[in-house]
Amino acid sequence: MSDLKTESQDLQQEENALIALRKEKLAAERAKGNAFPNDFRRDSYCNDLQKQYADKTKEELEAAAIPVKVAGRIMLNRGSFMVIQDMTGRIQVYVNRKTLPEETLAAVKTWDLGDIISAEGTLARSGKGDLYVEMTNVRLLTKSLRPLPDKHHGLTDTEQRYRQRYVDLMVNEETRHTFRVRSQVISHIRKFLIERDFLEVETPMLQTIPGGAAAKPFETHHNALDMAMFLRIAPELYLKRLVVGGFEKVFEINRNFRNEGVSTRHNPEFTMLEFYQGPTPTTATTWTSPRNCSASWRCWCWAAPTCRTATRCSTSANRSPACRCSTRSSSTTRS
């Protein structure tokens, strides 16, 4: 136990020393003028370039001399080559000592992993076949004060991953993929319902009487009205009032709050889909739910890294190993 505590203290001291050094570098950038330039305008994203020019040979790229402007976070620095990452993916940039001025070359040597830079130049391909940007101009856009997690061990602490999700997003492609797929699934559900003449609405988050589910609410106080109020546990009652008012097809995708237990799979704050349709037989609603969920399953599975079947994945026979489908469905979906 003592050894673990000592090791933890040593790691913390090492990190503090790195942060102090980076703060000194930031102070030097401030002394030069604008430490956070905002006049750069990129024209390309890393993964878009990788896809667009995947079939171009080294000779074709040299002949075309395609100019690009990219920006991203430094994830790997090998001296002459750096790997930067933006919201779409990664690409290499080449520090060409023949085309970059001495002042820039000196500045590049002081940059750290995690710094955000802009790079302008032409596309080229290495002898190993990797696409890269041969830079004619490069600038530091943002100085990173905290070091990235160790590249060999990564970010493995579950508690840190959940409490510092921004760090998890920086270093874990799977986490970024999950965020993108979640957005796609919600967009698909919204599109599915709107195409069937459902009206998307927003109902009150603060309610005087919490209802719609058997759950303990979060309580707060409205100062101006001097009254107790509750964060909603479900939108059900207000959605039904809209149906009574004449909107016969309504839905809401929004946040709900339940003062209950916490785990990696159960959050007191969560997103819920709830929709109502009337007057209509029950079979119409039970038909809509599986159709919507089935389409969302396909959207989820198709976007999974190793699932490219583009088939209905509601049965175990068709399900990819990476597929996260569930065969359960209902008119109220909690995520």
Q: What is the CATH number of the domain that holds 244?
A: 3.30.930.10
- The answer to whether residues 323 and 216 touch, using CB atoms and an 8 Å cutoff, is no
Same domain, 135 and 243: no
Mean pLDDT by 10 residues, the chain (335 residues): 66 88 94 91 96 94 95 93 95 92 92 96 94 95 91 72 89 92 93 94 94 92 96 95 95 95 86 90 69 62 47 43 40 42
Give the structural domain span for 270: 158-334
Whole-number pLDDT of residue 169 = 92
Using the 3D structure, point to which of 142, 168, 186 is the last residue of a domain. 142
Q: List the structure tokens of 294.
A: 């089935």
Same domain, 189 and 128: no
Containing H/E element for 302?
helix 282-303
pTM, two decimal places:
0.77
Cβ neighbours of 267 (radius 10 Å): 16
- The 3-state secondary structure of 17-65 reads HHHHHHHHHHHHHHHHCCCCCCCCCCCCCHHHHHHHCCCCCHHHHHHHC
In a domain, 289, yes or no: yes
Same domain, 246 and 300: yes
Whole-number pLDDT of residue 226 = 96
In a domain, 4, yes or no: no
SS3 label, residue 2: helix
In a domain, 18, yes or no: yes
In a domain, 7, yes or no: no
Same domain, 175 and 308: yes
Same domain, 55 and 176: no
CATH number at residue 94: 2.40.50.140
